[in-house]
Amino acid sequence: MAEKGSCVYSLARNRRSIREYSRDPISISDVLYAVSAALEAPSGANKQPWRFIIIVDSETKKELRRVCEEWERRFHQGRGLPKWFREWLRERGITWEKRFLTDAPVLLAVAANKKAPYARESTWLAIGYLLLALEERGLASLTYTPANPRAAARVLGIPDDYTLEALIPVGKPRGVKEKEPRLGLAETVYLNKWGSPLPGREPGMTKAT
Ligand SMILES: Cc1cc2nc3c(=O)[nH]c(=O)nc-3n(C[C@H](O)[C@H](O)[C@H](O)COP(=O)(O)O)c2cc1C
């Protein structure tokens, strides 16, 4: 059982994806602290395939929002979206509109070098470190994955041998947001073989609270 008081666990437990931001400024040194933590992540052959762009310029943010929303409209109107996913988005009020791209005081673009081994796995691992470090500094975030990352990458001048993995708004949340439920140990962890439960833990015993 995870130690509820331990630092990493409580940061992970408290952290949630925030989609509504106040325009209050934040300290860039806190952002650099979080990026520094991300730079300590392991990576395939230690190639450190990640690159970060700290975006504070309002015109760049506006242009990113314009390009992203254009593709989000197509994505949200597309017939290919599974029914459950359409419902999941609706319940959370997630639409094609991406106000956080202009409201959040800082956007972090994270790119991965396609030529590096395990570039995406490594970059997302670094993003995980980043999110917890932001949480530690009291900063909210969201791993927004644009519907057309290439179009957003062009706005930022990201070269073709890099993929834009995420645009992460960073700032202070507007309002309070509930934590999304999580599965517990009993639903997700087996002992020795697939399907073999941990002793004393039947599915349903550890409810996400
Ligand atoms: C790889 C990845 C991609 C995601 N892409 C988006 C996205 O494009 N837009 C969005 O609003 N949330 C996105 N999310 C956030 C998830 O919806 C969110 O983490 C999940 O619903 C759990 O909520 P929580 O982070 O508040 O606990 C993404 C998360 C991950 C890990």
Domain with residue 66: its CATH number is: 3.40.109.10
List, for the chain, all residue ranges whose pLDDT scores fall below the cut of 50: 206-209
| Domain-embedded: residue 115 | yes
Greatest Cα-to-Cα distance within the chain, rounded to the nearest angstrom: 56
* Residue 199: per-residue pLDDT: 87
pTM: 0.94
| Domain-embedded: residue 124 | yes
Cα–Cα separations (whole angstroms), residue 146 to 69, 85, 128: 9, 16, 18
> Whose Cα sits closest to atom 14 in ligand 1?
143
> Whose Cα sits closest to atom 13 in ligand 1?
144
* Residue 204: per-residue pLDDT: 52
> Whose Cα sits closest to atom 11 in ligand 1?
144
Q: In this structure, are 108 and 155 located in the same domain?
A: yes
The number of folded domains in the chain is 2
* Residue 2: per-residue pLDDT: 55
The residue range of the domain holding 154 is 15-176
Question: Phi then psi for 28, rounded to 5 degrees?
Answer: -65, -25
**Distance between CA 111 and CA 27 in Å, rounded?**
23
Beta strand extents in 58-183 (DSSP E only): 106-113, 140-141, 162-171
Q: In this structure, are 117 and 163 located in the same domain?
A: yes
The residue written with tokens 């995406």 in the block is: 120
Q: How many other β-carbons are positioned within 10 Å of the β-carbon of residue 118?
A: 16
| Domain-embedded: residue 184 | yes
Q: In this structure, are 155 and 94 located in the same domain?
A: yes
Q: In this structure, are 66 and 114 located in the same domain?
A: yes
| Domain-embedded: residue 54 | yes
Q: In this structure, are 197 and 95 located in the same domain?
A: no
CA 141 / ligand 1 centre spacing (Å): 10
b/e burial code for range 72-86 (CB count within 10 A of at least 16 → b): beeebeeeeeeeeee
CA 142 / ligand 1 centre spacing (Å): 7
| Domain-embedded: residue 1 | no
Among 72, 145, 163, say which to mutate for ligand 1: greatest number of ligand atoms within 8 Å of CB: 145
Partners of 97 in the beta sheet? none
Are the CB atoms for 146 and 167 separated by under 8 Å? Answer: yes
Q: In this structure, are 20 and 76 located in the same domain?
A: yes
| Domain-embedded: residue 2 | no
Tell me if 91 CB under 6 Å of ligand 1: no
* Residue 3: per-residue pLDDT: 57
The residue written with tokens 């934590």 in the block is: 179
Question: Which atom of ligand 1 is nearest to 19's Cα?
Answer: 11
Q: In this structure, are 152 and 62 located in the same domain?
A: yes
Q: In this structure, are 166 and 121 located in the same domain?
A: yes
| Domain-embedded: residue 10 | no
Q: In this structure, are 108 and 209 located in the same domain?
A: no
* Residue 207: per-residue pLDDT: 47
Q: In this structure, are 128 and 198 located in the same domain?
A: no
The residue written with tokens 């997630």 in the block is: 94
**Distance between CA 90 and CA 119 in Å, rounded?**
33
Cα–Cα separations (whole angstroms), residue 125 to 38, 79, 112: 8, 32, 11
* Residue 209: per-residue pLDDT: 38
Q: In this structure, are 120 and 26 located in the same domain?
A: yes
| Domain-embedded: residue 7 | no
Question: Which atom of ligand 1 is nearest to 145's Cα?
Answer: 8
Q: In this structure, are 170 and 191 located in the same domain?
A: no
Sheet holding 106-113, edge to edge: 50-55, 106-113, 162-171, 140-141
